[in-house]
A and B are shown apart, each in its own frame.
Chain A
């Protein structure tokens, strides 16, 4: 072999040794990085699963599941019970108002009778006055009339006082009935708009939560899918390592061929073996998502 050729072969051998050294460092770095990424993604996947479980528990606590009504169910129940109670209060107060109305009717009847009693007392007073006049006209013969006239007058006075007392009592009762009517009216006329507004806001919140929940579930699904894909991709590290080792082996074959050539011991058979080694494909797969995984 010529001196220049010897020098070239020696240079190639040295260069190949340096390339292999760099290659080994690159391979070690890649292995370490992939291992670290794999661990991170595996932990991320576990965290995601944990967070998803917590999220589902929270959603179930809000929306309910199985026999549990959940927060929303409890709020609906409370609101429904509130309106049921309001309806019962309304029923009682309407009953009171109807009774007050009936009592007013009775009081009117009593008032009419009191008025009639007053008229009777007035008539009786007129009769007693006439009796007194007649008694005075017939002088001593009318003494008996005088006694009767005095008694009738006393009766008229008493019935007059009685009718006044009834009138006063009815007036007091009417005032009490009016107070009761106003109180029962206030009790019965509870506006329900606030309850309806609360119900609307509750239903809007439930709908909003439902939308957020669906969006969050979709997002979690996407993240989980992406993480799973990343983990799957990182599992091909073994295949990559074999490919790198194969490249290392090919480079070493070339380096050894150079060494043999430099030492003058390079034979045709050695060259054929080196050629077979360099041209062998240990991994034919071009993409982790296409074709079969070829590991050996």
Chain B
């Protein structure tokens, strides 16, 4: 499940449970926002697949490729391991729990 909130030019996307290809339709509005900064809260996400990585990369693309504009927050467990091996720390600001 995806919850999107916007405040002061910051879009926060909170994802619960599995963050996979079935979230694409829900995630689509996030890619259409035109904010200065995006925060993806994965503290309640238990799983990510390649589509989730793809959505995060598209969000980064939306942010003009600026890693400082997209923060992945609260990542732990399987998502943390995947993001670490995929070297997403080089492309995003990652804040672990």
Inter-chain contact A90/B85, CB cutoff 8 Å: no
Option from A83, A86, A196 in Cβ contact (under 8 Å) with B78: A196
Closest partner residue, chain A, to B78 (CB atom):
A196
Number of inter-chain CB pairs below 8 Å: 88
| A–B Cβ pairs within 8 angstroms, 14 of them | A80-B85, A80-B86, A80-B87, A83-B87, A86-B53, A86-B86, A88-B54, A89-B54, A90-B54, A90-B57, A91-B55, A91-B61, A93-B50, A196-B78
Which B residues, 36 to 56, have Cβ-Cβ distances below 8 Å to chain A? Answer: 48-56
Give, as a whole number of angstroms, the nearest-CB distance from A187 to chain B.
8
B-side contacts of A196, CB under 8 Å: 78, 81-82, 85
Give, as a whole number of angstroms, the nearest-CB distance from A193 to chain B.
8
CA distance A134 to B80 in the complex (A): 78
Of listed A90, A93, A195, A196, residue having the most chain B CB within 10 A: A90
Inter-chain contact A97/B82, CB cutoff 8 Å: no
Give, as a whole number of angstroms, the nearest-CB distance from A57 to chain B.
29
Closest partner residue, chain A, to B25 (CB atom):
A101
Chain A positions within 8 Å of B, measured between CB atoms, are 79-80, 83-84, 86-95, 97-98, 101, 185, 188-192, 195-196, 199
Inter-chain contact B50/A89, CB cutoff 8 Å: yes
Inter-chain contact B82/A91, CB cutoff 8 Å: no
Of listed A86, A95, A188, residue having the most chain B CB within 10 A: A188
Of listed A94, A101, A196, residue having the most chain B CB within 10 A: A94
Inter-chain contact B49/A101, CB cutoff 8 Å: no
Chain B positions within 8 Å of A, measured between CB atoms, are 20-21, 24-25, 28, 31, 48-58, 61, 78, 81-82, 85-88
Of listed A79, A190, A191, A192, residue having the most chain B CB within 10 A: A192
Option from B20, B28, B52, B85 in Cβ contact (under 8 Å) with A195: B85
Inter-chain contact A189/B87, CB cutoff 8 Å: no
Inter-chain contact A188/B85, CB cutoff 8 Å: no
A-side contacts of B31, CB under 8 Å: 98
CA distance A126 to B87 in the complex (A): 67
Inter-chain contact B20/A101, CB cutoff 8 Å: no
Inter-chain contact B57/A91, CB cutoff 8 Å: yes
CA distance A79 to B84 in the complex (A): 11
Besides the known contacts A89-B54, A94-B21, A94-B54, 14 further A-B residue pairs in the complex with CB atoms under 8 A apart: A80-B86, A84-B86, A84-B87, A86-B53, A87-B54, A87-B86, A90-B51, A90-B55, A91-B61, A94-B55, A188-B54, A190-B50, A192-B82, A199-B81
CA distance A191 to B50 in the complex (A): 7
Inter-chain contact B85/A91, CB cutoff 8 Å: no
Question: Given the interface contacts A80-B86, A83-B86, A84-B86, does A91 sit within 8 Å of B81 by beta carbon?
Answer: no
B-side contacts of A188, CB under 8 Å: 21, 24, 49-51, 54
